Amino acid sequence: MAVKPHYHLCKVLSGDMALPVWSHAVTLVPFRPDVPEMIAALHAMLTSSYEAVGDHVPSLNVWWQALSEDAEYETALIFPVMNGKGELIAFAHCWNSGFIKDIVVQPSWRRQGIAEALLLHCFQVFYARGADKICLKVDQNNPFGAERLYRRLGMTDE
């Protein structure tokens, strides 16, 4: 498989960053690793998102074992977002090193400020942890406008 060209973007964290604004239709909830349905929903959403750009996510059990055993994994750094019906509609997953591993929003919920709120939340969490910056990778040909959002929120090439 050919390596996709990507940007490595970072945001310098400071006390004057914008706070996330959440729509009344959604709620940021704690990640519950003891709820298999939540893990399965995260995996399904991630798989669908990766497949949309020609990538692959391992099977649920393989993915979860690798994730939960990774030295950079922390339960507190997975940020699920639910709609009013209690359905997972988005999430961000960060490594404890200050890296946003994944940010995914269901297609029907895109362009409603959810990804922006998730990113701003991640910025705030890592600033509160004393991090100087937070980074991520984005494919140069990402079809969802992610790079534009990241740059608008102050992320720059590193």
Spans in the chain with pLDDT lower than 50: 1
pLDDT at residue 139 in the model: 84
Helix (H, G, I), strand (E, B) or coil at 127: helix
Q: How far apart are CA 12 and CA 4, in angstroms?
A: 26
Q: 90: domain range?
A: 6-157
pLDDT at residue 86 in the model: 93
Domains in the chain, number:
1
Residue 133, in any domain of the structure: yes
Residue 1, in any domain of the structure: no
Q: What is the CATH number of the domain that holds 62?
A: 3.40.630.30
Residue 128, in any domain of the structure: yes
DSSP 43-75: HHHHHHHHHHTT-----HHHHHHHHHHSTT--G
Structure tokens at 151: 């740059």
Q: How far apart are CA 34 and CA 39, in angstroms?
A: 9
**Nearest to 121, CA basis, from 45, 43, 11:** 11
Question: For the whole model, what pTM was predicted?
Answer: 0.93
